[in-house]
Amino acid sequence: MIYRSGQKVLVQGITGKQGTFWSQKMMEMGTSVVAGVNPKRAGETHLGVPVFASAVEATKQIPCDLSVIFVPPMLARDAIVDAIDAGVGCVVVLTEHIPAQHVLEIHARAKRAGCRIVGPNTAGIVTPGEGFVGIMPGHNQNIFKPGHIGVISRSGSLGTLICLNLTRAGLGQSAFLGIGGDPMIGTTTRDALEALDRDERTHAIAMIGEIGGTMEEEAAEYARTMKKPIASFIAGRSSPPDKKMGHAGAIVTGGRGGYASKREALEQAGVRVVDTPHEIALALQGVYA
């Protein structure tokens, strides 16, 4: 799920407004976008790459390592299944509001096929200096620069803010992993934490969580085994209980998934939990000092 230079990217929905804009930005940064999908424009060339009727047809001619989905909610299931059937190893699903029954089917099919789903409702993944896949401003060198801090975030906007602060602090990032804000996502906080723990370029980790769900508590179990330092910020500290806030997954019931529960679990695992996003960079500067 960490993008590496040279990995080939398929853009499903490449000819749409957003698909076109972000494909151009990905290419500008160095991402190897090699093909696109739009059944109505198959056989054409768009942004200098061939457009195919399906992912299956595309990969028959051009092997692809990742696919990114710029497809509306009601069509997303078919596009993702197409990528899975094409043998793509990782599918970055930007789309939100995909029907729950479709999401369940997608995850089941991906698991059987050994395909990694990032999202739904993710902003994407970034490896500064190499490329990005999605709608994060990976091309903006004021926000992203090569470094050794791995960043995990459910929120694209909060993740962008943290990366900006890390860059201004002179630290930079080894990778940004946007796991997505939906309640049923294919890559969890723990999954991302494990990936960054294995990554030799990552020396420390910034973990941005939110109230709702139990992903941070589950990630804390793995954090206990790690030697790499972790600093975390949990959004939603002042949110009222039993009320859905922001992302579809941000709902707290019975204390589990609440701010206090997440903070306690992380701190007991040795994670430095800060009160504001700005303090993430300060905490990690202390690690390097």
- Same domain as 144, residue 94: no
In a domain, 123, yes or no: no
pLDDT tens figures, 217-230: 999 999 999 999 99
Instruction: Give the tens place of pLDDT for each residue, 100-123.
Output: 999 999 999 999 999 999 999 999
Q: Which residue has the tokens 């490896």?
A: 127
- The reply to whether 52 falls in a domain is yes
Q: Do 107 and 160 reside in the same domain of the chain?
A: no
Please give the backbone phi and psi of residue 284, each rounded to the nearest 5 degrees, phi first.
-80, -25
90 and 179 assigned to the same domain = no
Q: Which of 53, 88, 118 is the last residue of a domain?
A: 118
pLDDT of residue 119: 98
Tell me the C-alpha distance between 115 and 120, whole Å.
14
**Residues 154 and 250 placed together within one structural domain of the fold:** yes
Task: Judge whether residue 289 has pLDDT over 70.
Answer: no
Instruction: Kindly name the residue from 107, 148, 247, 278 that is annotated as catalytic.
Output: 247
Does residue 255 carry a pLDDT above 90? no
Q: Are residues 278 and 148 in the same domain?
A: yes
Out of 29-43, 142-156, 246-260, least confident range: 246-260
Range of the domain at 65: 8-118
Verify that 265 and 188 share a domain, yes or no.
yes
Classified as helix, coil or strand, 218 is: helix
83 and 191 part of one domain: no
Structure tokens at 242: 């039993």
Domain membership of residue 127 (yes or no) is: no
Residue 235 lies in a domain: yes
User: What is the mean predicted confidence (pLDDT) over 130-142?
Assistant: 97
185, burial (CB in 10 Å: exposed 0-12, middle 13-18, buried 19+)? buried
What's the pTM value of the predicted model, to 2 decimals? 0.95
Residue 132 covered by a domain: no
- Say if 3 falls within a structural domain: no
**Which of the 8 DSSP states describes residue 170?**
T
CATH code for the domain of 27: 3.40.50.720
Reference 121, options 252, 213, 246; nearest CA is 246
Q: Is residue 97 annotated as part of the catalytic site, yes or no?
A: no
What does each C-alpha distance from 80 to 13, 91, 120, 273 come to in angstroms?
11, 7, 10, 36
